[in-house]
């Protein structure tokens, strides 16, 4: 495990998919660092690093069904990466969950079994 990318789970305990991913990891003896991102929102730099590990554009990490998505007009395809990242940093409920980081790679745990891809 790399010190620069510890094993962690960006987790929302109110989300069944997030709870399921955590249970799958624990069943395999993995206790990730839990990042309660709704309580302590990741900043823009942390989100950029996470997107690099995911190898995805910012839009792929956005939850389009959230009220804030529509309220902020985030469906506009002209919005750039910085704008989308800033929106997620300011409104962490917009961040897709769970996100599992392990050994310098990351995956969105939807379905929860996807976290096992990194083991």
∠ CA 53-59-64, rounded to 5°: 125
- Give me the pLDDT at residue 5, please: 64
For the chain, the maximum distance between any two Cα atoms, rounded to a whole number of angstroms, is: 44
C-alpha closest to that of 100 among 4, 8, 18, 2: 8
| Domain assignments of the chain as residue spans, ordered by start | 8-118
Look up the CATH number of domain 8-118: 3.40.30.10
Which residue among the candidates 5, 7, 8, 15 is catalytic per the annotation? 15
Predicted confidence pLDDT, tens digits, the chain (119 residues)? 344 568 999 999 999 999 999 999 999 999 999 999 999 999 999 999 999 999 999 999 999 999 999 999 999 999 999 999 999 999 999 999 999 999 999 999 999 999 999 99
Start-end of H helices in 28-66: 44-54
Whole-model pTM: value is 0.92
15 is catalytic: yes
């Amino acid at each position: 495990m790399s010190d620069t990318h510890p094993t962690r789970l960006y987790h929302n305990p109110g989300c069944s998919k997030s709870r399921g991913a955590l249970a799958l990891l624990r069943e395999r003896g993995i206790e990730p660092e839990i990042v309660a991102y709704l309580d302590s929102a990741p900043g823009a730099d942390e989100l950029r690093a996470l997107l690099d590990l995911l190898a995805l554009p910012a839009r792929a990490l956005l939850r389009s069904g959230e009220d804030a998505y529509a309220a902020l007009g985030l469906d506009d395809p002209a919005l750039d990466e910085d704008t989308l990242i800033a929106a997620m940093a300011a409104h962490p409920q917009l961040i897709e969950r769970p996100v599992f980081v392990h050994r310098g790679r990351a995956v969105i745990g939807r379905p929860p079994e996807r976290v096992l891809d990194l083991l």
